[in-house]
Amino acid sequence: MKIAIYSCHEFEKKYLKAENMDGHELIFIAETLNRTTIDRANGCEVVSIFSSDKTDKEILKKLNQIGVELIATRSAGTDHIDLKAADEFDMKIANVPEYSPHAIAEHCIALSLALYRKLKPSFNRIGKYNFSLEGHVGREIHTKTVGICGTGDIGEVLVNLFHGFGAKVLLFDEKKNPNLTDKDWAKYVKKETILGECDIISLNLPLNEDTKGFISDNELKAMKDTAILINTGRGGLVNTEEVYNALRNRKLAGFGMDVYENEKGIFYKDLSDSTSKDDLLISLIEMDNVVVTAHQTFLTDTALSNMMRTTLDTIREFDKNENIENLVSSK
């Protein structure tokens, strides 16, 4: 069976090949799925996409017309896919609900430590052969209050990691995780409590109508001036311009971001020679108290192996007309 794999990075290929036990013909396409590249899926019953592939109703209609029946996204999130349109065209959509919660949770810790220990300005200073320590006094996670917003598999791992540092942990999620409700060192609280009491707030929520703009101007005003914000969920969870304004006005002490609401067309590309750059993103990158990574929390050997194994397992289930375990829909 021919499978078109869009937005395929070089680092993904060896993992895809290793998991292709059934000998499918894998068509590696570096470009995103769009109106000019869609014809490369001709003759394919299955296409695999990435979070950078905006799969709207028009794209889905065209895929349906050329005979594509299954879209397997190599991501947990599905906010880049018009699920209602997929249901309308009777197309199957499958995701990778979990590839390595440890990879994402550890990245949250890395961003927190980078901000707390002022590693970015320290690296920049040392790069100039300046070893002065002035202005680089940091903080410790130990005894701080950390708020985890989103307590699914990733949030659960992160809760335990922060507890290991000796932090007090507060939790927020509409759906409580039963593995966390009996902890005497972590408790579920209202969003307002997270905002008002926490020194570190980590966003590990999915993006949907209820969570879009989860942190905006009002929430930022309710947070401590000394707090830092970590977003590894989805860019749309925060209003980035308002976060920038809070940082500039010293109403927020730091921001660690692995996702950006305007990242499509930017992240995953080498734009170092581009003459057209995102002004807001540039402004954030230039700040010492902001650490930006390029949507790479998933980028570990373990996570990539699991991601491609799940993707190929889904395709195998489809090919053999078996029940597809990781189907998603708008319903």
The reply to whether 35 and 25 lie within a common domain is: yes
Alpha carbon distance 144, 166 (integer Å): 8
Total tally of structural domains belonging to the chain: 2
125 is catalytic: no
Q: What is the pLDDT of residues 129-164, one digit of tens each?
A: 999 999 999 999 999 999 999 999 999 999 999 999
- Same domain flag for 59 and 190: no
* Confidence at residue 12, expressed as pLDDT on a 0 to 100 scale: 97
Share of the chain above pLDDT 90, in %: 98
Q: What is the mean pLDDT of residues 287-310?
A: 97
Residue 274 CA: distances (Å) to CA of 52, 131, 270, 279: 19, 33, 9, 13
- Average pLDDT of span 182-202: 97
For residue 330, what pLDDT is reported? 81
Do 241 and 253 have their domain in common?
A: yes
142 labelled catalytic = no
Rounded to whole angstroms, how far apart are CA atoms 55 and 65?
Answer: 15
In Å, how far are 50, 66, 198, 277, 278 from 271, measured between CA atoms? Answer: 19, 33, 36, 8, 11
State whether 119 and 193 are in the same domain: yes
Outline where the chain has alpha helix (H): 10-19, 57-65, 83-88, 101-116, 119-127, 153-164, 191-197, 217-222, 240-248, 279-285, 301-319
Task: Report yes or no: 217 and 253 within 8 Å, Cβ to Cβ.
Answer: no
User: What does the alpha-carbon distance between residue 190 and residue 175 come to, in Å, rounded to a whole number?
Assistant: 12
Same domain, 40 and 61: yes
Residue 297, pLDDT score: 97
pLDDT value at residue 308: 98
Is 316 assigned a catalytic role?
Answer: no
Locus of tokens 């335990």? 160
pLDDT > 90? residue 70: yes
Percent residues over pLDDT 70 in the chain: 100
Domain with 209 in it: what CATH number? 3.40.50.720
Domain containing residue 182: 101-292
Q: CB atoms < 10 A from the CB of 230, how many? A: 28
The per-residue pLDDT of the chain, averaged, comes to 97
DSSP lists the bridge partners of residue 70 as 46, 92
| pLDDT classification of 112: cutoffs 50, 70, 90 | very high
Catalytic residue among 74, 234, 242, 261: 234
231 with 105, same domain? yes
Shared-domain flag, residues 134 and 268: yes
Residues 73 and 119 in one domain: no
- CA atoms lying within 13 Å on the CB side of residue 315: 31
Per-residue pLDDT tens over the stretch 8-21 = 999 999 999 999 99
Q: Which two tokens stand for residue 192?
A: 């307002």
Residue 316 sits in the same domain as residue 193 = no
> What pLDDT is attached to residue 81?
96
117 and 166 share one domain: yes
From the list 80, 107, 125, 295, the catalytic residue is 295
Instruction: State the pLDDT confidence band at 85, using cuts at 50, 70 and 90.
Output: very high
The answer, yes or no, to whether residue 320 has pLDDT greater than 90, is yes
pLDDT at 331 over 90: no
Task: Given the residues 263, 286, 316, 317, select the one marked as catalytic.
Answer: 263
